[in-house]
Amino acid sequence: MNDAIRQGWTTTKRHKYALVALFLYRLLWGFFLYRLIDSIVAPVLERFPDQHPLGAAAKQIFAIEAQFRLLKTDLADRTLLLLGGMLLLRMLLTPILNAGLYYSFGHDDDGGGTHVLRGIREAWKKVTLLYAAEKLIALLPTVWIVPFARSAYMAEPNVQAWIGQMLPYAAGWALWMMVVHLPFLFMQFSAAGGASLWQGAVHALRRLFPLLAVTLLLPLLSLLGAAAVSAASFLWTGLAIIVLNQSFHFIRTLLSLWTAACQHRLWLREDQ
How far is residue 12's CA from residue 167's CA, in Å, rounded to a whole number? 36
pLDDT (average), residues 108-121: 77
More confident residue, 181 or 231: 181
Q: Evaluate if residue 54 carries a pLDDT over 60.
A: no
CA dihedral sign of residues 89, 223, 178, 168: negative
| Structure confidence at residue 191 (pLDDT) | 92
pLDDT (average), residues 267-272: 67
Residue type, 80: L
Contact 101, 11 (CB under 8 A): no
Q: Evaluate if residue 67 carries a pLDDT over 80.
A: no
How far is residue 23's CA from residue 253's CA, in Å, rounded to a whole number? 6
Query: Angle at Cα 211 formed by Cα 207 and Cα 214, nearest 5°?
Result: 150
pLDDT band at 227 (very low <50, low <70, confident <90, very high): confident
More confident residue, 140 or 232: 140
Which residue, 128, 47, 140, is CA-closest to 90? 128
Q: Evaluate if residue 61 carries a pLDDT over 80.
A: no
Q: Which of 20-24, 67-71, 79-83, 86-90 is the least confident region?
A: 67-71
* Exposure on the CB side of residue 127, measured as CA atoms within 13 A: 27
- Please give the sequence-ordered ranges of beta strands (E in DSSP) within the chain, or none if there are none: none
Look at the chain and count its residues. 272
More confident residue, 223 or 173: 173
| Structure confidence at residue 209 (pLDDT) | 86
| Structure confidence at residue 56 (pLDDT) | 64
Distances (CA, A) of 202 to 7, 50, 134, 196, 211: 22, 59, 16, 10, 13
Contact 203, 186 (CB under 8 A): yes
Q: Which of 27-36, 86-95, 98-107, 180-189 is the least confident region?
A: 27-36
Q: What is the pLDDT of residues 206-219, one digit of tens each?
A: 888 888 888 888 88
| Structure confidence at residue 78 (pLDDT) | 76
pLDDT band at 259 (very low <50, low <70, confident <90, very high): very high
Q: What is the pLDDT of residues 148-163, one digit of tens each?
A: 888 887 777 677 888 8
Q: Evaluate if residue 193 carries a pLDDT over 70.
A: yes
| Structure confidence at residue 72 (pLDDT) | 64
pTM: 0.82
Q: Give the residue numbers spanning the domain of 215.
A: 2-271
Domain count, the chain: 1
How far is residue 38's CA from residue 263's CA, in Å, rounded to a whole number? 37
Output the average pLDDT for the chain. Answer: 82
| Structure confidence at residue 29 (pLDDT) | 85
| Structure confidence at residue 47 (pLDDT) | 65
| Helix boundaries (H) for 194-271 | 197-206, 208-235, 239-271
| Structure confidence at residue 238 (pLDDT) | 64
Q: Evaluate if residue 203 carries a pLDDT over 90.
A: no
How far is residue 63's CA from residue 211's CA, in Å, rounded to a whole number? 48
pLDDT band at 189 (very low <50, low <70, confident <90, very high): very high
